[in-house]
């Protein structure tokens, strides 16, 4: 029979707690998050139209630009394309900032619950 390490079980339980809180807080902010991702996708479509590239490449460009990675394989050639790129980078910064904030909140809640659980188990020993 396999020996289960209590730390492994606790780690998995902590992960599930974190995932629960992450989904919960993401759900609360779903309107904002969906609006921001809609702006990124529609910005990509407008960018593609202005730059004369396929829509799929425009969406790819918008996702890469909004994540602030910016590979450089697609670059804006027109002034309006450059303006859209700045807009996408700004929206992406807000979007990913919110994701980090949600993850931080979920992590904080997970730590609180973990510490609360340890306090209860120590008082029973």
Average pLDDT over residues 59-72: 92
Q: Which of 92, 106, 80 is nearest to 37 (CA)?
A: 92
* CA distance readout (Å), 105 to 60, 85, 117: 30, 30, 18
Least confident of 53-62, 105-114, 116-125: 116-125
pLDDT tens string 92-111: 999 999 999 999 999 999 99
Give this prediction's pTM: 0.75
Does 2 have pLDDT greater than 70? no
Residues 11-19 have a mean pLDDT of 91
List the single range of 5-14, 61-70, 81-90 with lowest mean pLDDT. 5-14
Helices in the chain by DSSP H: which ranges? Answer: 6-28, 30-51, 55-66, 79-123
Give mean pLDDT, residues 82-90.
95
Rounded Cα gap, residues 110 and 125, in angstroms: 23
pLDDT for the residue numbered 10: 73
Say which residue the tokens 């629960």 belong to: 20
Show the tokens assigned to 32: 């904002």
The burial of 27, by beta-carbon neighbours within 10 Å (0-12 exposed, 13-18 middle, 19 or more buried), is given as exposed
pLDDT recorded at residue 114: 85
- Whether residue 68 contacts residue 89, with contact meaning beta carbons closer than 8 Å, is answered with yes
User: How would residue 1 be classed by pLDDT, with cut points 50, 70 and 90?
Assistant: very low
Residue 85, pLDDT above cutoff 50: yes
What are the structural domains, with CATH classification, of the chain? Answer: 33-108 (1.10.287.70)
What is the pLDDT at residue 91?
94
């Amino acid at each position: 029979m396999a020996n289960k390490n209590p730390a492994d079980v606790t780690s998995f339980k902590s992960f599930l707690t974190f995932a629960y809180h992450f989904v919960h807080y993401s759900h609360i902010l779903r309107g904002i998050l969906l609006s921001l991702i809609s702006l990124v996708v529609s910005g990509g479509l407008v960018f593609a139209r202005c730059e004369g590239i396929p829509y799929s490449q425009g969406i790819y460009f918008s996702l890469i630009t909004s994540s602030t990675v910016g590979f450089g394989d697609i670059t804006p050639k027109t002034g309006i394309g450059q303006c859209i790129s700045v807009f996408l980078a700004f929206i992406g910064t807000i979007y990913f900032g919110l994701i980090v904030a949600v993850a931080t909140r979920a992590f904080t809640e997970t730590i609180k619950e973990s510490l609360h659980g340890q306090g209860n188990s120590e008082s029973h020993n």
